[in-house]
Amino acid sequence: MKTESRIRNSIRNTAYVLAGQTVTIIMQFILRSVFIRYLSISYLGAEGLFTNILSVLSLTELGLGAALVTNMYKPLALKDTRSIRAHINAYRKVYALIGAVIGVAGLCLVPFLPYLIKDASAIEGLTSIYLLYLTDSVFTYFFAHYRAMLSANQQDYINTINRSIFIVLQVIVQIICLFLFRNFLLYLVIKIAFNLLAGFSISRTVRRMFPYLKEKDGSRITPEEKQTLVRNAVGIFSQRVGFTVMNGTDNIVISTFLGSVAVGLYSNYSLVVSTISTFIGLAMSAVQASIGNLCAVEESGKTRASFLNVDFVYFWIYSFASVCLSVLMTPFVRIWLGDRFEIGTAVIIVCVLNFYFANSRQAALAFATANGLLWKLKLKAIVEAVLNLVISIALVRPLGMLGVFVGTSISTLATSVWIEPYILYKYYFRESVLPHYIKYAGNLAATAAAYLACTFLGGLVPVAGLTGFLIRCIICIIVTNVLYIIFFHKTEQFRYLKDLIKMMLGDRRHRT
């Protein structure tokens, strides 16, 4: 596939993802506002806790699904329908087994629920709530192979359209339910029903688009493909362990040591951060399939320039988002929910720092994934996970909520930030990684400079409320981007970004 086609596919996917995620964000914030008004904050804490518990249980996926998607890039690029069919068949069987395993493992946790929530007695129907979350989680695995087919084929925009339509319908019905009945269990049943409808809808779409998937010729992956799959699966599994422990256990630690109310307070900020992260991540994931296609058909020497360009785009986007989150999150929560839902500034800064560390290195992970290098990172993820959990538990008593997130920062800096690019440069680009470390440090310094400038100028704004928030938004947008233009305008990567924006605008004018 030509570079221009990859870029246009990425642009199309990104445009749909951004539009769809914007709709989702609006609906989720409306739903959260209604939720807080009509239900106890303890239910909010339970929602965050059970979501984290199920993310830990999803480790049973073992990375096989993601490994299969990675292995599909080449057969899709070469239009090898036999191999595609074989991978999808394997994907379907694996995820059916995963769903069953998660269901059984989730049921085994039921007796331990009171020990995971410090104030469990304050949550009525705790077991029923958990079982509904578990049911919803299990059902999603039976449609995963259809969504993966679209993602690997650079057609994620279809997933986005499907997801957005059903989320809008789901939220509307849930809001009506909360207004009329104020029943959390019915609220969850509605969520399950619409997720099932979305799954059935996407399965029909994929079967219609790829009729050769219906052929029953007994296609199976070859021994060589199976070996590659196992290696990729082990590598991806280790990454999943690290990611889950880094992000999925925070609410569990907070709930166990500080209670569900603390989880509820943090969950509002977490919603803002995760919404932005998901918003950007979905847009950038549209680029993942293009990276996989590129690495499948090009030599490493030709992809290095592409990596530098993509890495710069990741930095700019996530650095800008980090500055905005640091400066604007508390004013936003104050307007949205009121002063009583605020948390400390130090907690916010560390949370945003973790957001930056986790996302600014995604280009290296994307290229490592596309080239099957996650196998080399398997021990890193385990070390990172253990460090994070141990340090977070050790610091939660003396520092409270802040200690949990400081543990995440320390473990990330000690492992992922430097090891992931090292593996990519050593085994794929086969050159020194030192220039990358220097560039990363410079990017972090630029982010810090933008944050300090926006914080200082934001502090001079004489008005509060919505007007003050909007003025601070404008300050963040202008100051951050102007500083980055000054810092990076002479680089090749900046010229690439400028040309990419011109292409996106030109493509939009062409469509209209």
In a domain, 268, yes or no: no
Distance CA 163, CA 122 (A): 34
Do the beta carbons of residue 375 and residue 233 sit within 8 Å?
no
In a domain, 114, yes or no: yes
The model's pTM is 0.68
φ, ψ dihedrals at 489, nearest 5° = -65, -20
The 3 state secondary structure assigned to 289-305 is HHHHHHHHHCCHHHHHH
Structure tokens at 57: 């249980």
Q: What is the pLDDT of residues 461-509, one digit of tens each?
A: 988 889 999 999 999 999 999 999 999 999 998 988 888 777 666 654 4
Q: Is 490 helix (H, G, I), strand (E, B) or coil?
A: coil
Q: What is the pLDDT of residue 294?
A: 57
In a domain, 113, yes or no: yes
Do the beta carbons of residue 223 and residue 366 sit within 8 Å?
no
Q: What is the pLDDT of residue 287?
A: 57
- Contacts for 230 with CB less than 8 Å, ≥ 6 apart: none
Q: What is the pLDDT of residues 340-384, one digit of tens each?
A: 888 888 989 999 999 999 888 888 887 887 777 777 877 787 788
Do the beta carbons of residue 388 and residue 91 sit within 8 Å?
no
In a domain, 173, yes or no: yes
φ, ψ dihedrals at 386, nearest 5° = -65, -45
Structure tokens at 84: 């595609």
> Which helix or strand (DSSP H or E) is residue 107 part of?
helix 81-108
Residue appearing with tokens 């320039």: 305
Question: Measured on CA atoms in the order 162, 168, 173, 177, is the torsion positive or negative?
Answer: positive
Structure tokens at 362: 């995604």
Do the beta carbons of residue 395 and residue 404 sit within 8 Å?
yes
Q: What is the pLDDT of residue 291?
A: 62
Structure tokens at 201: 């809808």
Cβ atoms within 10 Å, residue 351: 26
Helices (H), ranges, 222-259: 223-248, 250-258
Inter-CA distances, 448 with 236, 408, 473, 512, Å? 32, 19, 17, 40
In a domain, 476, yes or no: no
State which residues of the chain have pLDDT below 50: 1-4, 59-63, 508-512
Do the beta carbons of residue 442 and residue 319 sit within 8 Å?
no
In a domain, 78, yes or no: yes
> Which helix or strand (DSSP H or E) is residue 131 part of?
helix 126-140
Residue in 237, 242, 263 with CA at minimum distance from that of residue 51: 263
Structure tokens at 215: 């052929």
Do the beta carbons of residue 121 and residue 134 sit within 8 Å?
no
Tell how far CA 421 is from the center of its chain.
20
In a domain, 148, yes or no: yes
Number of domains within the chain: 1
Do the beta carbons of residue 265 and residue 400 sit within 8 Å?
no
Distance CA 364, CA 238 (A): 16
Q: Which domain holds residue 149?
A: 1-232
Q: What is the pLDDT of residue 2?
A: 47
Query: For residue 291, which amino acid is it?
Result: I
Q: What is the pLDDT of residue 300?
A: 53
Residue in 398, 431, 61 with CA at minimum distance from that of residue 244: 61
In a domain, 348, yes or no: no
Question: Measured on CA atoms in the order 261, 265, 266, 270, is the torsion positive or negative?
Answer: positive
Q: What is the pLDDT of residue 24?
A: 77
Structure tokens at 465: 């409320």
Do the beta carbons of residue 236 and residue 65 sit within 8 Å?
no
Q: What is the pLDDT of residue 62?
A: 45
